[in-house]
Amino acid sequence: MSDVWQAPPADGPVEGRVEVPGSKSVTNRALLLAALSGGPATVTGAPASRDTALMTGALSALGVPVEIDGTRVAIGAHDGLHGGAVHCGLAGTVMRFVPPAATLATGDVVFDGDPRARERPMSVVLDALRGLGAEIDGSALPFTVHGTGGLPGGEVVVDASASSQFVSGLLLSGARFDKGLVVRHEGPPVPSLPHIEMTVDMLRTAGVAVEVDGPDTWRVAPGPITARDWVVEPDLSNAAVFLAAAAITGGRVTVAGWPAESTQPGTEILAVLEQAGATIEPGPDGMTVIGPDVLSPVDVDLHDASELTPTVAALAALADGTSRIRGVAHIRGHETDRLAALATEITALGGVAVETEDGLEIHPAPLRADPARPWRAYADHRMATAGALIGLAVPGVAVDDIGATAKTFPDFPAQWAALVG
C-alpha cells in the first residue's frame, strides 16, 4: 500500500465552490495537434497531471520543443518528428494517440508503459496502422514503430468496440498521411462517442476537413494542421465527483467554469444526479448541484460516458433502492477491470454489487469500513475518487493509493479535504 489515505467523512451537508483542473482529454488532443502542426502553439489550462506529463514527455522524445510554465504548455516550431523512446505510463491517450504520429517520424520509436498498460488492448490501432502502410513490431506494449517520415494512409476497417480511443488516435494524425484517412468501424457500437465528437471538433478547429458518415465512418482529408493557441475547459468527469458529494450529503456544491456547451462525456453526470433526486442549477458562477434528503436509486446507460461509472457506482451503493448501470462492458479493459473492482470493493464494505454482462446491479445494504482492509484503488484514479465518495457516508474508509488521482487531478486530496472540512 503506497499511499493510504483516510477519507474524510461528512458530518453534515457538504457545501462549497470548487475549481477543477483542465480536461485531460482535451489537453492531450490539443498537445498532439499542436505538435503535428509544426508549431509554434500553446495549450493553456493544461492540468499538471501525470497524463499531461506523459504526453509532453512523449512529444519531447520525438524531438518536439516543449516548455511548461504552470498550466501553460508552449510547443515550439520544428521541422518534424524523429525517433526516440516513449513511456506511456497508464495513459490511454498516449499509448493510442502517439503511435499514429510516430509513423511520421524519421527513425524508430519504441513504446512501453506501466505493467497494467502492457495488458491493455493495442492491436486494433497497430493493425490499422500496418494496413495503412506502417511497419510495426509487436501488438501490445512494448512495441516499436519504424518511422519513415510519412505514411501512405487511405482506408482502414477497425473494430473499435473496446475503446473510442482507437478511432480518435487514427483521426488525429490522419491529415498528415499522404492520402488522408478513412476509418470504418465494424462491430458492436463504439463506446464513448462524445470523445470522438471531441476529436472531430478539435480537428476542424485546427483547420482539418473531417466528414462524419453516421456513427461508424470518418473521413479526414490530407493537408496541414493549423498551429493555434488552445484553451482547455475544466475536466467535467473530475468535477462530477464533487457534484456527487452534494447529492450524497444533501449539500450544495458549485463547480466553477462549467462550460455552456461541451463535447465532454462528463456532462451526463447532471442527468444521473437529477435521477438520484438532486436539483441542478446552472448559473454565471458555474454549475450547482443541491442534494436530496434521500438519495434515490438510478437506472442508467453509461455507454457514452463510461468514465463516470465509478462515481455513479458510489452513489448507487448509498442509494435507497436497487440501481443498475448498463452499457459499460468495455470498461473491463480500462486502467483496471473497473466492473470487477467496483463489485469487489463495494462487497468488501458489506454492500451488494453484482456484475452483469454489461455493467453492475447494486442493491441497498448497510456499509461498514473494515479497519484491516482499505478501499483498493487498483492504480486507477477513478476508483480512488469513488472510495473518497463512499467515505463521506461511511466513517473509517481508507483508500490504499490516493496518489493514483495524480493521473488527472494531482491536488485532489487537498481540494477534497477542503470541501468536506
282: preceding bond cis by omega (within 30 degrees)? no
Flag whether 338 is marked binding: yes
Helix/strand/coil for 5? strand
Task: Give the three cell numbers for residue 37.
Answer: 502542426
307 is catalytic: yes
Is position 164 annotated in a ligand binding site? yes
Q: What is the DSSP letter of 119?
A: G
120 marked as binding residue? yes
Q: Is 17 annotated as a binding residue?
A: no
Check if the beta carbon of residue 25 is closer than 8 Å to that of residue 63: no
* Active-site residue, selected from the candidate residues 268, 307, 335, 345: 307
Strand partners, 352: 363
Q: Is 23 annotated as a binding residue?
A: no
* 25 labelled binding-site residue: yes
Task: Find cell 516499436 and name the residue.
Answer: 144
Residue 2 burial by CB count (10 A; 0-12/13-18/19+): exposed, middle or buried?
exposed
For residue 407, say whether it is annotated as part of any ligand binding site. Answer: yes
Q: Has 334 been labeled as part of a binding site? A: yes
How many angstroms separate the CA atoms of 65 and 107, rounded? 18
What whole-number distance in Å separates Cα of residue 284 and Cα of residue 268?
20
CB 248 within 8 A of CB 318: yes
82 is in an annotated binding site: no
> Is position 6 annotated in a ligand binding site?
no
Q: Which strand (E) or helix (H) includes residue 17? A: strand 15-18
**DSSP letter string, 69-99:** ETTEEEEPP-S--EEEEEE-TT-HHHHHHHH
User: Could you tell me how many residues make up the chain?
Assistant: 421
> What would you report as the CA-atom Rg of the chain, rounded to the nearest whole angstrom?
21
- Known binder of ligand: residue 192? yes
Q: Please say whether the beta carbons of 236 and 269 come within 8 A.
A: yes
* Residue whose C-alpha cell is 514527455: 57
Q: What span, in angstroms and rounded, lies between the C-alpha atoms of 38 and 420? A: 45
Does 179 carry a binding-site annotation? no
The values of phi and psi at residue 341, to 5°, are -65, -45
Residue 288: partners with Cβ closer than 8 Å, 6 or more residues away: 252, 253, 254, 255, 280, 281, 282
Per DSSP, what are the bridge partners of residue 370?
Answer: 373
Residues placed in the known binding site for phosphoenolpyruvate: 24, 92, 120, 165, 338, 382, 407
Q: Would you please indicate which residues are annotated as catalytic (active-site) residues?
A: 307
- Residues at the annotated binding site? 24-25, 29, 92, 120, 163-165, 192, 307, 334, 338, 382, 407
Residues making up the annotated binding site for 3-phosphoshikimate are 24-25, 29, 163-165, 192, 307, 334
